[in-house]
Chains A and B, each alone.
Chain A
Amino acid sequence: MTACSHAHTASVAAPMVLLVGHPNVGKSVLFHRLTGNYVTVSNYPGTTVDIARAPMKQHEAFWIMDTPGVLALPSRSDDEQATVRAILHENSAVIVQVGDAKNLRRTLSLTAVLVEFGLPMVLVLNMQDEAEARGIVTDVDALSSALGIAVIATVATDNVGMDALVTAIGCAAVPDRMLHYDAATEKKIIALMERMAVQETFSSPVAPRALALLALGEDPVILSMLDASDRCAEKTGGLPVKLIRERVMAADHWVSRFSSRKAQSSPQLAHRIGQWVVHPWYSLPILAIILSIVYLWVGVLGATTLVGLLEEDLFENRLTPMLTGWIEANIPFPFIVDLLVGPYGLWTMGMTYAIALILPIVTTFFLAFGFLEDSGYFSRLSVLANRVFTVMGLNGRAILPMILGLGCVTMATLTTRILHSPRERLIATFLLALAIPCSAQLGVVMGMLGKLPLWMTLVWMGVMLLILALSGFLAARLIPGKRIPLVTELPPMRVPMLANVIKKTSGRLRWYLVEVIPLFLMGTLLMFTLDRTGAMPAIIRAGEPLVTGWLGLPAEASAAFIMGFLRRDFGATGLFVMSDRLTPEQMLVGMITITLFIPCFASLMMMIKEHGMRVAMTMLAFIIPLAFLIGGGIHHALTWLPLLLSRVWV
């Protein structure tokens, strides 16, 4: 179809093109196609919690903005409010609504709101291939004529329809209105528009009618712009639901006009798999199989085989002796030699930890993680996890930040924004900081657990889950507020795209190398300084009652905990390299303590950013003593329980 064939084509005066749409419809993939910039793309709702923007590669005058998904407008959650603010306050030239081609009714019910903004618009019906596979046919030309804007069918992942979209953006038109509300509502809209016209706070470029509609729908962004008296007046019980219903009915009418469905064959395999993974009987065995495969991939291949190849064969036997020889021969200052290749040397400790020990572990972890998130499995876990999270005052939706936390706790703390209330976000952040190990730390822990008997691995997992459940249970009772029941969409299961998984993994590895190596080097420098100034032995002595007396670990383990203050995985690696000198019981106690220990510096900063200094410090004041309390408790249980049992047995 010709994208620029509409009579009332608007001249584009402003440079921002906003990608707006429901969650999980492919906005971030389109953003990548239009800008060349990559933002994390995943097969679950809520991937985009922040707004990304970049120049459009095909039209340099335009910028593209990727907004968080909206379930419906008026906005209710933080990410929906971010999208409304973007439409109101950015220099919006064009709204590109990205919709799911196989769910036209839902797409058009959002279109019914977006057309009210009076901005040039393009409607993208993405995932056209999935719609076709289900026998859904939409007459895009007729729909385009009826709306007065370009409607483009795309498969963004395969780059289908992108040329037409680029053309359409360049000559986007202002759409026609899709529906008239009932007479009483229309009267309210006009009355509110008149009142808003005299208020100075409304200086948005969008149509006043859209603002009035959102205000009647009790959109918090718009209500905050209203005068106090109007704000109370517009809190009209039941009207927001009625407005949504009217839009859905209008969308129904449009769907019956422009879309049809061929007789459907038997359900697709992906659809069946999607149902099996949440099936009451099959779901848990499937989960167990997936966890076992991840363990073999990360814990055995990554943490044992690849670490062995890199650390022993490459670093210990080749690179380090070669470098040490060269440095000792060429640098006449023992202090510098020690700083570079001594026991706390920048190479022997900092680089070896970062490259030889952790890099293979995080690489295998990120690959497994990317594969699972692309498949859509994580979203379905929310159904399985709902009951568990109910105990913690949350709902199954909280599984997403928890799983993301296994990748990076810092990013996961940001992702708690997908949860619907501040209370839920607070509880989830606390649990992330306490009991969710990040990928690097988890990999190191898996590597150590691989050396222990199976029952100890089960004890470690059991303790983590118990602490998670108990802390969540207590937090849910201490933090005031109501739990929100889970109602969520389940995106279809898809075959992961290898290119997407590799792209995501390389992006994450780049982030890892940029963030971790400087921190590891700084940490090593700190350890070197403490060692050289004689502070290290003093700290080890001071920590002895706690580390040796209470936790039952060798005194040198204090150094690992100091390292853990900088990054948890740095501390875990400190214990990992000591593992030959530790008994299995000591390794277990060390792993439990370091896993529960304080979050890394970056995630602490994120906690402060999201919840403020007071809340972050309160969490730390709880987490640090708890980590040592639990670690010591396990040590004493392991020491005394066998003795007690043997006496009872005798």
Chain B
Amino acid sequence: MSQGGKMQQPDLPLSLMPSGLVVAVTSMDEAIDDGQKELLASYGISPGRTIIIVQQKPMTVVMAEDMEVALEITVSRHVWVRKVLS
């Protein structure tokens, strides 16, 4: 789909995105319970927020503002993100 001449990026699980990418969190699956959503939100990972992917193995590590946060793959695969176009 075209938006202002640019292709709309698809939503993908955070765990599938390559390192170094800047992404915006779009949604979280129901598989992530409310407690985890609270925890993620307190680390600055919630829908609408932008994060940088630092690495994916052995765990997903993202930079949320100036804090590095490590997420297990069982969590990061349920966090949906979209690449931020520069």
Give the interface of A toward B (CB within 8 A).
Answer: 71-72, 76, 100, 102-103, 105-106, 109, 134, 136, 237-238, 240-241, 244-245, 248, 274-275, 278-280, 283, 382-384, 386-387, 395-396, 485-490, 492
Contact = CB atoms under 8 A, between A and B. Distances in A.
Given A244-B38, A278-B61, A485-B71, 7 more contacts: A72-B42, A105-B65, A241-B37, A280-B58, A387-B58, A485-B74, A490-B70
B42 A103 contact: no
B72 A485 contact: yes
Contacts, number: 102
A590 to B, nearest CB: 36
Contact of A241 (B38, B54, B58, B72): B38
A387 B61 CA distance: 15
B41 interface: yes
Interface of B: 34-44, 46, 49, 54-55, 57-59, 61, 65-72, 74-75
Nearest to B49: A248
B65 A245 contact: no
A136 B35 CA distance: 31
Contacts of A492: 68
B3 to A, nearest CB: 24
A383 B34 contact: no
Contacts of B34: 237-238, 240-241
B67 A386 contact: no
A487 B38 CA distance: 11
A485 B36 contact: yes
Nearest to A280: B57
Nearest to A72: B42
Contact of B66 (A136, A275, A283, A396): A136
Contacts of A248: 41, 44, 46, 49
B41 A488 contact: no
A382 B58 contact: no
A486 B44 contact: no
Given A106-B42, A245-B46, A487 B66 contact: no
Ordered nearest first, which 9 A-B pairs have the shortest CB separation?
A72-B42, A490-B68, A485-B72, A280-B57, A244-B41, A102-B66, A486-B72, A241-B37, A485-B74
A282 to B, nearest CB: 11
A604 to B, nearest CB: 33
A446 B15 CA distance: 41
A486 B65 contact: no
Contact of B65 (A71, A106, A237): A106
Contact of A487 (B49, B67, B69): B69
Q: Is the interface of B mostly helix, strand, loop or mixed?
A: mixed
A489 B69 contact: yes
A488 B69 contact: yes
Q: Is the interface of A mostly helix, strand, loop or mixed?
A: mixed
A248 to B, nearest CB: 6
Contacts of B42: 71-72, 106, 109, 244
A169 to B, nearest CB: 27
Given A241-B34, A244-B38, A489 B58 contact: no
Contacts of B70: 278, 382-383, 396, 486-490
Given A103-B67, A106-B42, A106-B44, A487 B55 contact: no
A216 to B, nearest CB: 13
A591 to B, nearest CB: 31
Contacts of A396: 59, 70
A488 to B, nearest CB: 5
B15 to A, nearest CB: 12
Contacts of A240: 34, 38
A489 B46 contact: no
5 contacts: A241-B41, A245-B46, A278-B58, A283-B58, A383-B61
A183 B39 CA distance: 25
A487 B46 CA distance: 13
Nearest to A76: B35
A274 B69 CA distance: 12
B47 to A, nearest CB: 8
A254 to B, nearest CB: 14
Contacts of B49: 248
A103 B66 contact: yes
Contacts of A274: 68
A105 B35 contact: no
A241 B57 CA distance: 28
Contacts of A102: 66
A290 B23 CA distance: 35
A51 B55 CA distance: 36
B58 A383 contact: yes
Counting chain A CB atoms within 10 Å of each CB, the highest count among B39, B71, B75 belongs to: B39
B36 A487 contact: yes
A382 B70 CA distance: 9
A395 B72 contact: yes
Nearest to A217: B38
B59 A383 contact: yes
Contacts of B65: 103, 105-106
A240 B36 CA distance: 11
Contacts of A280: 55, 57-58
Contacts of B75: 485-487
A106 B66 CA distance: 10
Contacts of B36: 485, 487
A275 B19 CA distance: 12
Counting chain A CB atoms within 10 Å of each CB, the highest count among B34, B72, B74, B75 belongs to: B72
Nearest to B56: A280
Nearest to A255: B65
A76 B38 contact: yes
A239 to B, nearest CB: 9
A490 B41 CA distance: 16
Contact of A278 (B35, B55, B72, B74): B55
